[in-house]
Amino acid sequence: MNDSNEPEASPPVVDLVRTGVANVASLRAAFARLGIGLRVAETAQEVRDAVALILPGVGSFAAGMEQLRLAELDQALADRIRAGAPTLAVCLGLQLLATTSEEARGYRGLGLLDLRVNRFPDGVLRPQIGWNRIQADPDCELLQTGWAAFANGYRLTERPVGWRVAWADHGGPYIAALERGAVLGCQFHPELSGAFGAALIERWLERSSVRRRTASAALCGGDS
């Protein structure tokens, strides 16, 4: 029983990969607003065992992959996503799922998407910073059409086989987000995308059974 006036914190049921190239404060704040705490997954076993996992990223493709490999998390991440375990990849996190990137020639990504990440073409603002409209394909289950916040200089332009996709346009159409079951990748930042992003995170939490587990934990930990 909590004798103070402070509300009891929700159990931290979503794990966050430490990439070393991400500012996770906005993610923590967004999930806290939904009543969900985050904890850091630092080992391959923690990555594999997480009920739901976030792969964030802000920065370069090379630095992101270096950090994952140095921490020996790359194979665990790849295995997890191939198995369809609930995972949310944000911004650079989505790009790291690809095979290669024009930003970092000679570096290989996780190879889960047999695609190359390409630079925005000349003649458009690069990086793209701000709001852009995304258009979800009709068969999307988590993704919806709306406006989202972006901060990216590179993007994927081809549809990967076996994934549902939402598109945006900046110097030509590109992948704003993709989904397959409980695996969700967003080139935009859902945590900075207002009500639209919060609703998407909530749908992912529901698909990942996080809400059910949180409710069960609250019941088990309630006052007798």
Given the residues 66, 140, 191, 206, select the one marked as catalytic: 191
Q: Which residues pair with 53 in a beta bridge?
A: 15, 87
Backbone angles phi, psi at 163, to 5 degrees: -120, 145
Question: Which residue out of 91, 170, 179, 186 is catalytically annotated?
Answer: 91
The 8-class DSSP code of residue 2 comes to: -
Element holding 53 (H helix, E strand): strand 52-55
To the query of whether residue 91 is one of the catalytic residues in this protein, the response is yes
Residue 148 Cα to chain centre, angstroms: 14
> CA-to-CA distance for 168 and 157, rounded, in angstroms?
10
User: Which residue among the candidates 170, 179, 186, 189 is catalytic per the annotation?
Assistant: 189
Closest CA to 56 of 178, 166, 184: 184
Determine the Cα–Cα distance for residues 54 and 179; give it in Å rounded to an integer. Answer: 14
Give me the active site residues, please: 91, 189, 191
